[in-house]
Amino acid sequence: MKRMQLSASILSADLGNINAVISDMEKAGLDMLHFDVMDGHFVPNITFGMPVLKAIHARTNLFLDVHLMISDPLKYVEQFVQIGANLVTFHLESESNPEQTIASIHRAGAKAGIVLKPSTSWKMVIPYLDQVEVVLLMTVEPGFGGQSFLWDMVQKVESLHTYIQSHGLSCQIEVDGGINDETLSHVLRAGAEILVMGSFLFRQPDLSASVKTIRKKAEILLFE
């Protein structure tokens, strides 16, 4: 049976209190810390970058899932791995050569993933499926936390999952944007394994309790 992995997006966390956020995440048993890098160019928003990731890496052993929403990711992926990224995902819509970018991430020692915006067909990723560990399907328009889930994306997850299964490939599907206790069951059933959660998780009064509830829900669902 597949296991759901939860990657918490700190974009919606209390960033002024990052030590407490990290220790709450560790206690809650989250699988990954999702780190959204935005450059104000590839997407209209600017978030945080290398010095912040470096500081987080120095404080935790949590698996660092770095989502690059930047132009020319090839230029930066090696550095992100050197400062602690365990998985680096970059957008197929960026101008970098996908093969070279994947190779650079692997050479530096991390897992590599390709991200698709909602409007990009899942078929565009087919040529790279045997090279990446993860395909991240955006379930909102990249740029901001707290947006509503795009329901059309459930079918996209399912189509990609069917393709991966029928071709004996092993890459995992990650979904990002608008994942909450309602949408989660739909993406899990469709074949997603890594679920990014931002605003939903960090507005819960008790992170550990809600992670427990989510896992229970997923277990029941994946057993059905």
Catalytic residues: 36, 176
11 is an interface residue for ligand DX5 by CB under 6 A: yes
Cβ-contact 136, 113 below 8 angstroms:
yes
Minimal distance, residue 173 CB to ligand DX5, in Å: 15
In angstroms, the CA 172 to CA 9 distance is 18
CA distance 157 to 188: 9
Residue 65 is a binding residue for Zn ion (CB under 5 A): no
Q: How far is CA 89 from CA 3, 35, 94, 211, in A?
A: 20, 10, 12, 24
Beta carbons of 69 and 142 less than 8 angstroms apart: yes
User: With CB cut-offs between 5 and 8 Å by kind, which of ligand DX5, Zn ion, none does residue 145 bind?
Assistant: ligand DX5
- 176 is a contact residue toward ligand DX5 (CB under 6 A): yes
Residues 32, 172: Cα–Cα separation, whole Å: 14
Q: Which amino acid appears at position 124 of this protein?
A: M
The window from 25-33, 66-74, 149-157, 183-191 that contacts Zn ion (CB under 5 A) reads: 66-74
Site string for ligand DX5, 28-47 (x = CB under 6 A): ------x-x-----------
Q: Is 145 in the site for ligand DX5 (CB under 6 A)?
A: yes
Binding residue count for ligand DX5, defined by CB under 6 A: 22
Q: Cβ of residue 224: shortest distance to Zn ion, in angstroms? A: 28
Is 89 one of the binding residues for ligand DX5 (CB under 6 A)?
no
Residue 67, interface with Zn ion (CB under 5 A)?
yes
- Distance, in Å, from the CA atom of 157 to the CA atom of 122, rounded to the nearest integer, reads 8
Exactly one of 116, 197, 211, 218 binds ligand DX5 (CB under 6 A); which one? 197
Q: In the chain, where does DSSP find H-type helix?
A: 18-28, 50-59, 77-82, 98-108, 153-166, 183-190, 199-202, 207-223
For tokens 């277990």, what's the residue?
Answer: 219
Rounded least distance, CB 65 to ligand DX5, Å: 9
Q: Is 176 in the site for Zn ion (CB under 5 A)?
A: yes
CA separation for the pair 68, 124 (Å, rounded): 18
Residue of 73, 84, 98, 177 interacting with ligand DX5 (CB under 6 A): 177
Q: Which does 178 bind (CB under 5 to 8 A by kind): ligand DX5, Zn ion, none?
A: ligand DX5
Name the site residues for Zn ion (rule: CB under 5 A).
36, 67, 176
